[in-house]
Structure formats: C-alpha cells, structure tokens
Structure 1
Amino acid sequence: MNRPPQAPTPADTQRLALLVEAEFIQLREFIAILEREEALLVAGDSDALVTLAQEKSDRYRQLQRLHDDRALLLARLGRPDSDASMRELCAGLPRVLARWDELLELARTAHDRNAINGRLIVERMAANQAALSVLLAAADHPQLYDADGQTHPAHGGRMLGSA
C-alpha cells in the first residue's frame, strides 16, 4: 500500500543527507576494492583474490544496508526510491544534491569496473580450462569426476590381453 507523499521533517532531511554521504564514502571505498581486484586478476594472484573477495562482500553488504535505509526513509515519506524523489526532497540542499550527483557517477563507475572484472574472471577461467585440457590430453589419461567429486581415469580402448 502506497503512502501519500508527506513533507520531510528536518530530522528526515538530515538523515537523508547523512545516508547520501555515507553511501558516497562506502561506494568510493568499494571502487578502490574493485581497482585492487582488477590488478590482482591481471597479475593472476589467486591467493590475494580469495582474501579480497571477503572484503568486497563485506563492503557490498554495507552499501546494501545504506541503500535499504534510504529506500525505507523514502517509502516512509510516501516516495519511490528514485532519482526524482531524491531531487525533490533535496531541492533546497545544493550540497546534498551535488553529493547525490557524485554518488550516481560513482555508481556508474562501480558498475563499469565490476563488468570489466567479470570479463577478466571469465578470461582467466577460460585460460585455466584450456591449460587443464592440454595437461589432461598430454597425460593421455583424461580424468573424469564422479558424483562425489572423486577422479577416475577414463576407461577407453582395449584392455590388455583382450582381442
């Protein structure tokens, strides 16, 4: 059920400004993590990537909580979680609007960097799969995995002593 729009109290406006600032800071730090992730992907440093993955997940959860808090505040004020709502509520707050614009730009940057990292991961996985295929073919004993994840040599060709 949608609530009718209501005017924000000064406390609501302050809360909104604080949420925008906090989200901006967290998103800037998230982008720094994405930049480190890209460098590690290029370098092929798998061990460091595993460590960074937890930090990335934690930062993402923090960003999601801030976004959810902002969306809840907007909903309580009877407004959708949208750029238009933010611009309406912050119309008299030029510094908050400027920060909001910076936040939107950072969100685009994070999206683009995450897409680049995703492509790097796919490329790395393809290279690893190709290397594994070469190694298995060179061994002339391709390994098959059963339902329990155990390896078993493929059975093919003739058994010794059979005609």
Structure 2
Amino acid sequence: MTLQPELQRLVQLIDSEAILLRSFLALLEREEALLIAGDADGLLALSKEKTERYHQLQRIHDDRALLLGRLRRPNTAASIHELCQPLPDTRARWDEILNLAREAQTRNTLNGKLITERMQNNQAALSVLLNAAQQPQLYDSAGMARPTSGGRHLGSA
C-alpha cells in the first residue's frame, strides 16, 4: 500500500520516537542505579546524555505537532490512532510510546525523590560538620591538649 507523504512522515516520527523513548528509559534506569550507588561523577556524565535525549524527543514531538497541524488535526493520541487506523503496526508502536512515556514519567519521579533524599542526607551531614567546626578546639597546632573552660568569657555578663 502506498501512503500519502504526511502519513509516511508520521510513521517515521512514531518509529523514531519509540526508539528514543526506549533509550531514554534506559538512561533513567541507569540514573536510578547511579543515585542509589551515590556515583556523582557518573550522574554528571549521564545528565548530559539525558538532556540531549530529551531535546531529541522534544524535536520529534514538535515535528509531529506541526505535521498534525498541517493535517488540521489536534496533537492528541486519539488523532494519531485515527490517522493510523489502516496501519496496525504503527498503531501498536504508538501504544508502546504511550506506555513508555508513562513509565518514563514514573521513573523520573522516583529519581527525583532519590535526588531529594540524597540532598537531605548531604545537608544533614553538612550540618553536623558545621556544628563540629564551631566547637572549641581541644588541641593546639602542636597537637597538645588545650584545657577548655566551662566558665564565662571575659566581658560576658
């Protein structure tokens, strides 16, 4: 069956989006593992790749929205299902995209919670260190014990 050019382009966009979403989901899974392991260097490298993949997905979304606009259709799942009615493989891939997008959203939310938890733990550790730094020194620079006074400082009431 010969497809009109707009429908051919829609099929290409859906195929590309499915591939990119699978890849994005794999990045989110790696991100979760790195967050659990506390691998800050790995997270930094991954964040660049994740941002790049996100921008690729956004471009495909924008291209699809423009294509649907030219066809005078809203950019909705229902419009895509209707347009792909004669293409069961493409409809199945579109359904896969919808499922992958939900899974990516769930994983991204979980990773956000892991990041928040990690930040809270780091903040608590930092507070302990800052409080310890404000305590009087028990040793001088030569390593000799300094007596600590429990009394008042001169000039205090």
Question: What TM-score, normalized to structure 2?
Answer: 0.84
AA aligned opposite 2:38: G
What residue in structure 1 maps to residue 126 of structure 2?
A: 132
What residue in structure 2 maps to residue 67 of structure 1?
A: 61
What residue in structure 2 maps to residue 162 of structure 1?
A: 155
Q: Which secondary structure state, in structure 1, belongs to the residue aligned with residue 74 of structure 2?
A: coil
What residue in structure 1 maps to residue 90 of structure 2?
A: 96
Q: Which secondary structure state, in structure 2, belongs to the residue aligned with residue 162 of structure 1?
A: coil
Question: What's the CA shift string for 1:8-50, capped at 9, x where partnerless?
Answer: x711111000000000000000001000000000000001101
Separation of aligned partners in 2, 1:14 and 1:35? 32
What residue in structure 1 maps to residue 36 of structure 2?
A: 42
AA aligned opposite 1:27: L
AA aligned opposite 1:87: H
Separation of aligned partners in 2, 1:101 and 1:39? 27
What is the CA-CA distance between 1:162 and the residue it aligns to? Answer: 2.8
Question: What TM-score, normalized to structure 1?
Answer: 0.81
What is the CA-CA distance between 1:161 and the residue it aligns to? Answer: 4.6
Separation of aligned partners in 1, 2:86 and 2:41? 49
Gap regions ≥5 residues in structure 1 = 1-8, 142-159
What residue in structure 1 maps to residue 77 of structure 2?
A: 83
AA aligned opposite 1:84: A
Q: Which secondary structure state, in structure 2, belongs to the residue aligned with residue 96 of structure 1?
A: helix
What residue in structure 2 maps to residue 22 of structure 1?
A: 16
Does residue 33 (structure 1) correspond to residue 19 (structure 2)? The answer is no
Does residue 121 (structure 1) correspond to residue 115 (structure 2)? The answer is yes
Whose radius of gyration is greater, 1 or 2?
A: 2
Q: Which secondary structure state, in structure 1, belongs to the residue aligned with residue 62 of structure 2?
A: helix
Separation of aligned partners in 1, 2:103 and 2:9? 25
What is the CA-CA distance between 1:73 and the residue it aligns to? Answer: 0.2
Q: Which secondary structure state, in structure 1, belongs to the residue aligned with residue 51 of structure 2?
A: helix
AA aligned opposite 2:155: S
Separation of aligned partners in 2, 1:50 and 1:81? 34
